[in-house]
Amino acid sequence: MRSACRAPGSRSRRTYNELDLGVALVDVGGGTTDVALFNEGSVVHTAVLPVGATHVTNDVAIGLRTTLTEAEMLKINYGHAIPACIPREEMVEVHQIGQDRMQAVPRRHLAEIIAPRAREILEMVKLEMRRGGHDGFLPGGVVFTGGGCRLLGFTELAQSLLELPVRIGAPGQTIGMNDQVSGPAYATAVGLLRWGTKLRHHGNGHAAVGAGASAVYAKTVRWIKDFF
Protein backbone atom coordinates (compact mmCIF):
# COMPACT_ATOMS: atom_id res chain seq x y z
CA MET A 1 0.00 0.00 0.00
CA ARG A 2 3.00 2.26 0.45
CA SER A 3 3.31 2.85 -3.28
CA ALA A 4 -0.35 3.92 -3.39
CA CYS A 5 0.57 6.93 -1.24
CA ARG A 6 2.37 8.40 -4.24
CA ALA A 7 0.43 9.96 -7.09
CA PRO A 8 0.37 7.86 -10.28
CA GLY A 9 2.57 9.11 -13.07
CA SER A 10 1.04 11.38 -15.70
CA ARG A 11 1.85 11.64 -19.39
CA SER A 12 2.19 15.11 -20.87
CA ARG A 13 1.55 13.71 -24.36
CA ARG A 14 -0.88 10.95 -25.25
CA THR A 15 0.00 9.22 -28.48
CA TYR A 16 -3.31 7.48 -28.87
CA ASN A 17 -6.81 8.87 -28.90
CA GLU A 18 -8.45 7.75 -25.67
CA LEU A 19 -11.95 7.91 -27.10
CA ASP A 20 -11.07 5.57 -29.93
CA LEU A 21 -9.13 3.15 -27.78
CA GLY A 22 -11.76 2.92 -25.06
CA VAL A 23 -11.92 5.08 -21.95
CA ALA A 24 -14.15 5.67 -18.94
CA LEU A 25 -15.08 9.21 -17.94
CA VAL A 26 -16.14 9.44 -14.30
CA ASP A 27 -17.48 12.74 -12.94
CA VAL A 28 -17.52 12.68 -9.13
CA GLY A 29 -19.98 15.44 -8.30
CA GLY A 30 -21.64 16.51 -5.09
CA GLY A 31 -24.73 14.30 -4.99
CA THR A 32 -24.03 11.86 -7.81
CA THR A 33 -21.22 10.21 -9.73
CA ASP A 34 -21.68 10.06 -13.51
CA VAL A 35 -20.06 7.31 -15.56
CA ALA A 36 -19.66 7.26 -19.35
CA LEU A 37 -17.81 4.55 -21.27
CA PHE A 38 -16.41 5.35 -24.72
CA ASN A 39 -15.20 3.01 -27.43
CA GLU A 40 -14.29 3.75 -31.05
CA GLY A 41 -15.21 7.38 -30.50
CA SER A 42 -18.78 6.76 -29.29
CA VAL A 43 -20.57 6.46 -25.96
CA VAL A 44 -21.37 2.80 -25.30
CA HIS A 45 -22.65 2.91 -21.71
CA THR A 46 -23.75 5.56 -19.20
CA ALA A 47 -24.88 5.52 -15.59
CA VAL A 48 -25.67 7.94 -12.77
CA LEU A 49 -24.67 6.62 -9.35
CA PRO A 50 -26.57 8.01 -6.32
CA VAL A 51 -23.46 8.82 -4.30
CA GLY A 52 -20.89 11.59 -4.46
CA ALA A 53 -18.63 13.98 -2.58
CA THR A 54 -21.43 15.37 -0.40
CA HIS A 55 -21.90 11.91 1.10
CA VAL A 56 -18.25 11.95 2.15
CA THR A 57 -18.77 15.31 3.84
CA ASN A 58 -21.85 13.99 5.65
CA ASP A 59 -19.86 10.99 6.90
CA VAL A 60 -17.17 13.29 8.29
CA ALA A 61 -19.74 15.53 9.98
CA ILE A 62 -21.39 12.55 11.68
CA GLY A 63 -18.17 10.74 12.54
CA LEU A 64 -16.49 13.77 14.11
CA ARG A 65 -19.68 15.39 15.47
CA THR A 66 -19.07 18.66 13.66
CA THR A 67 -20.90 20.95 11.25
CA LEU A 68 -21.14 20.33 7.52
CA THR A 69 -19.07 23.47 6.87
CA GLU A 70 -16.31 22.27 9.18
CA ALA A 71 -16.52 18.76 7.74
CA GLU A 72 -16.10 20.06 4.18
CA MET A 73 -13.04 22.06 5.22
CA LEU A 74 -11.51 19.04 6.96
CA LYS A 75 -12.21 16.80 3.97
CA ILE A 76 -10.61 19.17 1.48
CA ASN A 77 -7.57 20.20 3.54
CA TYR A 78 -6.78 17.05 5.56
CA GLY A 79 -8.86 14.19 4.18
CA HIS A 80 -7.33 11.14 2.52
CA ALA A 81 -8.80 8.05 0.88
CA ILE A 82 -6.03 5.74 2.12
CA PRO A 83 -5.63 5.78 5.93
CA ALA A 84 -2.34 3.85 5.80
CA CYS A 85 -0.73 6.85 4.11
CA ILE A 86 -1.30 9.06 7.17
CA PRO A 87 1.21 8.94 10.06
CA ARG A 88 -0.46 7.83 13.28
CA GLU A 89 0.93 10.78 15.24
CA GLU A 90 -0.46 13.45 12.88
CA MET A 91 -3.35 15.43 14.40
CA VAL A 92 -5.98 17.91 13.16
CA GLU A 93 -8.01 20.45 15.08
CA VAL A 94 -11.79 19.97 14.99
CA HIS A 95 -14.51 22.27 16.29
CA GLN A 96 -17.04 19.73 17.53
CA ILE A 97 -20.68 20.61 18.11
CA GLY A 98 -21.36 21.51 21.74
CA GLN A 99 -17.70 22.09 22.55
CA ASP A 100 -16.19 25.48 23.32
CA ARG A 101 -12.64 24.50 22.45
CA MET A 102 -11.06 22.88 19.43
CA GLN A 103 -10.44 19.17 19.84
CA ALA A 104 -7.33 17.38 18.55
CA VAL A 105 -8.25 14.33 16.45
CA PRO A 106 -5.88 11.91 14.71
CA ARG A 107 -5.80 12.70 10.99
CA ARG A 108 -5.76 8.96 10.31
CA HIS A 109 -9.15 8.71 12.04
CA LEU A 110 -10.48 11.30 9.57
CA ALA A 111 -9.14 9.15 6.73
CA GLU A 112 -10.74 6.05 8.24
CA ILE A 113 -14.11 7.82 8.11
CA ILE A 114 -13.60 8.87 4.49
CA ALA A 115 -12.10 5.67 3.08
CA PRO A 116 -15.21 3.41 3.11
CA ARG A 117 -17.28 5.93 1.14
CA ALA A 118 -14.48 6.53 -1.36
CA ARG A 119 -14.14 2.79 -1.83
CA GLU A 120 -17.91 2.44 -2.22
CA ILE A 121 -17.96 5.01 -5.03
CA LEU A 122 -15.15 3.25 -6.86
CA GLU A 123 -16.71 -0.20 -6.40
CA MET A 124 -19.94 1.12 -7.92
CA VAL A 125 -17.94 2.57 -10.83
CA LYS A 126 -16.26 -0.79 -11.35
CA LEU A 127 -19.66 -2.51 -11.37
CA GLU A 128 -20.92 -0.14 -14.07
CA MET A 129 -17.82 -0.80 -16.12
CA ARG A 130 -18.58 -4.51 -15.85
CA ARG A 131 -22.19 -3.93 -16.88
CA GLY A 132 -20.95 -1.95 -19.87
CA GLY A 133 -18.78 -4.89 -20.92
CA HIS A 134 -15.48 -3.09 -20.41
CA ASP A 135 -14.35 -4.19 -16.96
CA GLY A 136 -10.55 -4.33 -17.06
CA PHE A 137 -10.42 -3.69 -20.81
CA LEU A 138 -10.13 0.03 -21.38
CA PRO A 139 -6.76 0.84 -22.96
CA GLY A 140 -7.40 4.55 -22.42
CA GLY A 141 -7.94 3.97 -18.71
CA VAL A 142 -10.17 6.12 -16.52
CA VAL A 143 -10.40 9.91 -16.55
CA PHE A 144 -11.84 11.47 -13.39
CA THR A 145 -13.44 14.92 -13.27
CA GLY A 146 -15.59 16.74 -10.73
CA GLY A 147 -14.71 18.26 -7.40
CA GLY A 148 -14.93 14.92 -5.60
CA CYS A 149 -11.88 13.50 -7.33
CA ARG A 150 -9.68 16.16 -5.69
CA LEU A 151 -9.73 14.15 -2.45
CA LEU A 152 -6.16 13.19 -1.56
CA GLY A 153 -5.46 9.55 -2.32
CA PHE A 154 -8.60 9.10 -4.40
CA THR A 155 -6.89 8.54 -7.75
CA GLU A 156 -4.32 6.24 -6.16
CA LEU A 157 -7.11 4.18 -4.61
CA ALA A 158 -8.93 4.16 -7.95
CA GLN A 159 -5.86 2.89 -9.77
CA SER A 160 -5.53 0.09 -7.24
CA LEU A 161 -9.19 -0.97 -7.25
CA LEU A 162 -9.93 -0.53 -10.95
CA GLU A 163 -6.55 -1.88 -12.08
CA LEU A 164 -6.44 0.62 -14.92
CA PRO A 165 -4.46 3.77 -15.75
CA VAL A 166 -6.03 6.75 -13.98
CA ARG A 167 -5.68 10.48 -14.51
CA ILE A 168 -7.47 13.69 -13.61
CA GLY A 169 -9.22 15.51 -16.44
CA ALA A 170 -9.39 19.28 -16.25
CA PRO A 171 -10.40 21.99 -18.77
CA GLY A 172 -7.58 23.07 -21.04
CA GLN A 173 -7.01 25.92 -23.47
CA THR A 174 -9.42 28.24 -21.63
CA ILE A 175 -8.98 31.96 -22.22
CA GLY A 176 -9.67 34.81 -19.81
CA MET A 177 -10.58 32.79 -16.68
CA ASN A 178 -8.00 30.02 -16.83
CA ASP A 179 -7.03 30.32 -13.15
CA GLN A 180 -10.65 30.15 -12.01
CA VAL A 181 -11.86 27.25 -14.17
CA SER A 182 -8.75 25.13 -14.64
CA GLY A 183 -9.64 22.52 -12.01
CA PRO A 184 -11.56 19.25 -12.52
CA ALA A 185 -14.59 20.67 -10.70
CA TYR A 186 -15.27 22.91 -13.71
CA ALA A 187 -14.81 20.26 -16.41
CA THR A 188 -18.55 19.74 -16.96
CA ALA A 189 -19.43 23.44 -17.11
CA VAL A 190 -16.59 24.29 -19.50
CA GLY A 191 -17.40 21.23 -21.61
CA LEU A 192 -21.04 22.27 -21.93
CA LEU A 193 -20.02 25.77 -22.98
CA ARG A 194 -17.79 24.38 -25.71
CA TRP A 195 -20.46 21.92 -26.79
CA GLY A 196 -23.04 24.70 -27.02
CA THR A 197 -20.70 26.86 -29.06
CA LYS A 198 -20.01 23.98 -31.41
CA LEU A 199 -23.74 23.35 -31.84
CA ARG A 200 -24.37 27.00 -32.69
CA HIS A 201 -21.63 26.97 -35.29
CA HIS A 202 -22.94 23.71 -36.74
CA GLY A 203 -26.49 25.08 -36.87
CA ASN A 204 -25.40 28.22 -38.72
CA GLY A 205 -23.59 26.18 -41.33
CA HIS A 206 -26.33 23.63 -42.04
CA ALA A 207 -29.84 24.96 -42.52
CA ALA A 208 -31.43 21.51 -42.43
CA VAL A 209 -30.42 20.99 -38.84
CA GLY A 210 -30.15 24.62 -37.83
CA ALA A 211 -33.48 24.88 -36.05
CA GLY A 212 -32.94 21.80 -33.94
CA ALA A 213 -29.35 22.68 -33.11
CA SER A 214 -30.29 26.26 -32.24
CA ALA A 215 -33.03 25.06 -29.90
CA VAL A 216 -30.62 22.75 -28.08
CA TYR A 217 -28.04 25.52 -27.96
CA ALA A 218 -30.57 27.95 -26.47
CA LYS A 219 -31.48 25.44 -23.74
CA THR A 220 -27.81 24.84 -23.00
CA VAL A 221 -27.11 28.58 -22.68
CA ARG A 222 -30.09 29.02 -20.34
CA TRP A 223 -28.83 26.12 -18.20
CA ILE A 224 -25.34 27.61 -18.06
CA LYS A 225 -26.71 31.02 -17.00
CA ASP A 226 -28.74 29.40 -14.24
CA PHE A 227 -25.70 27.36 -13.19
CA PHE A 228 -23.53 30.42 -12.72
Single-letter amino acid code for the residue at 51 = V
- Identify the pLDDT of residue 226: 46
DSSP state of 6: S
Residues paired with 54 in a beta bridge: none
- Statement: 20-169 belongs to CATH 3.40.50.620: no
- Identify the pLDDT of residue 144: 93
3-class secondary-structure state, position 119: helix
Given a contact cutoff of 8 angstroms between Cβ atoms, the answer to whether 163 and 136 are in contact is yes
Distances (CA, A) of 30 to 6, 97, 114, 147: 25, 24, 15, 8
pLDDT means over runs of 10, the chain (228 residues): 56 53 89 90 90 97 96 97 97 93 96 98 94 80 90 95 87 53 48 49 50 52 44
Ranges of each domain in the chain: 20-169, 178-227
Looking at the chain, how many residues does it have? 228
- Identify the pLDDT of residue 100: 87
